[in-house]
Amino acid sequence: MIKIYHNNRCSKSRSGVAILEDSGKKFEIVKYLDNVPTVEELSEIINLLNITPIELVRKNEKIWKENFKGKELSDVDIIKAMVENPKLIERPIVINGDKAIIGRPPEDITKIL
């Protein structure tokens, strides 16, 4: 089943949901701010995306700038920071089987449908 990690306050994330709705395919919405992924789940998502943890971080968030920017952080440290502060996770993330994509721009989601 297709899964979208979604934040309803984000226009790109809402656009991602609309693209999935228009596709007619069944999908699950994960409100990751309420249902925060574990370190293991986030690590798996990062592997599916084929990126490094820092590439999933929203670096313009105040939390990042005030607490983490410029510090020497391991990949594990970065993943833990995202789990402890889920606002730092880039969105939307769509997973379809063994494929995943960050929906920025949202139209990119169609590449894995």
Distance CA 34, CA 16 (A): 18
Q: Hey, is 106 helix, strand or coil?
A: helix
Query: Which is the catalytic residue, given 10, 29, 63, 112?
Result: 10
104: left (phi over 0), alpha (psi -120 to 50) or beta: beta
Q: Known catalytic residue: 10?
A: yes
Residue numbers annotated as active site: 10
